């Protein structure tokens, strides 16, 4: 449904009516404001005229009948003075009511003097900031089980400091030199000794050995094996790892790299040898060809989880290769 907007004449007529309505509303507001101002002035005048009306009424009552002008004038003056005095008295009373009465101190007994001093101290403390007093703690109660941020932070710092000191000490140990006795094993022995740091990895050690023998220079360290006490040491291990863990092989300790001959072996081959044996370096292909023959038949990959209570130099051959 469309909206009827009318003609141009209707639009101008509507505009005139709206303008007339605005003018009428404006005149109404002005009239309302003028009436309010008038009532305000009349209320103020009535306050000041009330006393004068009272004087006129009293004067009429006091001058009934024939009274001389002098008496009338004197009577009027007396009434006006009395009204002024009454008005002044009312003003004084109203001002007295507005003044706050002073606080009367309550009577206290003699034994309440101490309490009064304490109250005074409390009132003075209320004017400033009050210090919150913590309740006293019993020093004989064990509170170590309770969370304590300061203690925990101190313990954390101590642990960090000890960890740093331990790391520094281990770095010193890793930089210590050891002499490793080994032989390039190809069925015969070619025993040699090389000095390396304890932190040297097995693959780094094999690189040094490869430079010592002409037969090994064409072979990478990945195709070489390092055997100690009848166990094959993985290339990612270091001498430090074997020393600090007191690792054990099948026929002797893995932390002792010096070689000492056990004279007991010369007398009785059945006795267990406590001294360490020289390490062996072999080619991987040689091991694959001879792993079924002693001593390669005893060799197995080192496993740190295997516990060895005793050493053996014979038996325990690995058959499932």
Determine the straight-line distance between the first and last CA of the chain, rounded to whole angstroms. Answer: 100
Q: Which tokens go with 231?
A: 């166990």
The conformational region for residue 262 under phi > 0 = left, psi -120 to 50 = alpha, else beta, is beta
**Is pTM beyond 0.75 here?**
no
Average pLDDT over residues 82-101: 68
Average pLDDT over residues 285-299: 89
Bridge partners (DSSP) listed for residue 194: 180
pLDDT of residue 225: 94
**Which pLDDT band, with edges at 50, 70 and 90, does 97 fall under?**
low
For the chain, what is the largest distance between any 2 Cα atoms, rounded to a whole number of angstroms? 174
Q: In the chain, what are the domains?
A: 177-263+274-301 (3.10.20.90)
Give 286: exposed, middle or buried? Use CB within 10 Å, 0-12, 13-18, 19+.
middle
Query: Rounded distance, CA 256 to CA 243, Å?
Result: 8
Q: Which tokens go with 89?
A: 């008295």
**Per-residue pLDDT tens digits for 122-170:** 555 555 555 566 667 777 777 766 777 888 888 889 999 999 999 999 8
**Per-residue pLDDT tens digits for 23-58:** 888 888 887 788 777 766 666 555 555 556 566 766
What contacts 190, CB < 8 A, 6 or more positions away? 183, 184, 213
SS3 296: helix
**Per-residue pLDDT tens digits for 99-115:** 555 565 555 554 454 55
Query: Rounded distance, CA 107 to CA 21, Å?
Result: 75
Query: Rounded distance, CA 138 to CA 245, Å?
Result: 47
Bridge partners (DSSP) listed for residue 179: 195
Choice between 88 and 242, residue whose per-residue pLDDT is larger: 242
Average pLDDT over residues 284-288: 92
Q: Does 273 have pLDDT greater than 80? A: no
Given 3-state DSSP classes, what are the helix, strand and coil percentages for the chain, each rounded to the nearest 5? 50, 10, 40
- State the CB neighbour count (10 A cutoff) for residue 289: 11
**Per-residue pLDDT tens digits for 210-246:** 888 888 888 888 999 999 988 999 999 999 999 898 8
Query: Rounded distance, CA 26 to CA 32, Å?
Result: 10
pLDDT of residue 259: 63
**Which pLDDT band, with edges at 50, 70 and 90, does 190 fall under?**
confident
Q: Does 8 have pLDDT greater than 80? A: no
Query: Rounded distance, CA 62 to CA 103, Å?
Result: 48
Q: Does 77 have pLDDT greater than 60? A: yes
């Amino acid at each position: 449904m469309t909206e009827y907007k009318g003609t141009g004449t209707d639009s101008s007529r509507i505009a005139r009516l709206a303008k007339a309505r605005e003018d009428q509303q404006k005149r109404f507001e002005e009239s309302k404001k003028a009436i309010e101002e008038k009532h305000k002035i009349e209320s103020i005048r009535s306050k000041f005229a009330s006393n004068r009306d009272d004087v006129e009424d009293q004067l009429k009552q006091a001058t009934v009948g024939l009274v001389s002008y002098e008496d009338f004038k004197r009577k009027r003056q007396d009434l006006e003075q009395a009204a002024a005095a009454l008005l002044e008295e009312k003003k004084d009373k109203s001002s007295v009511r507005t003044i706050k009465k002073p606080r009367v101190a309550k009577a206290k007994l003699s034994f309440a003097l101490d309490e009064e001093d304490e109250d005074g101290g409390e009132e003075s403390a209320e004017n400033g900031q009050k210090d919150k007093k913590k309740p006293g703690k019993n020093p004989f109660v064990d509170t170590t089980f309770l969370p304590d941020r300061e203690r925990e932070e101190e313990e954390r710092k101590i642990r960090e400091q000890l960890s740093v000191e331990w790391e520094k000490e281990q770095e010193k140990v890793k930089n210590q030199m050891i002499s490793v006795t080994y032989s390039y094993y190809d069925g015969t022995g070619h025993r040699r000794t090389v000095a390396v740091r304890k932190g040297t990895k097995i693959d780094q050690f094999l690189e040094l050995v490869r430079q010592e023998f002409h037969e090994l220079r064409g072979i990478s360290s990945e195709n070489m094996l390092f055997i100690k006490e009848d166990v094959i040491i993985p290339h990612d291990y270091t001498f430090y790892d074997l020393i600090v863990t007191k690792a054990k092989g099948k026929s002797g300790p893995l932390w002792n790299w010096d070689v000492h001959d056990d004279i007991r072996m010369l007398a009785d081959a059945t006795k267990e040898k406590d001294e360490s044996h020289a390490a062996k370096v072999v080619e991987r292909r040689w091991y694959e060809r001879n792993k079924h023959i002693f001593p390669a038949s005893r060799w197995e990959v080192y496993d740190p989880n295997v516990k060895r209570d005793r050493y053996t130099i014979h038996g325990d051959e690995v058959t499932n290769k």
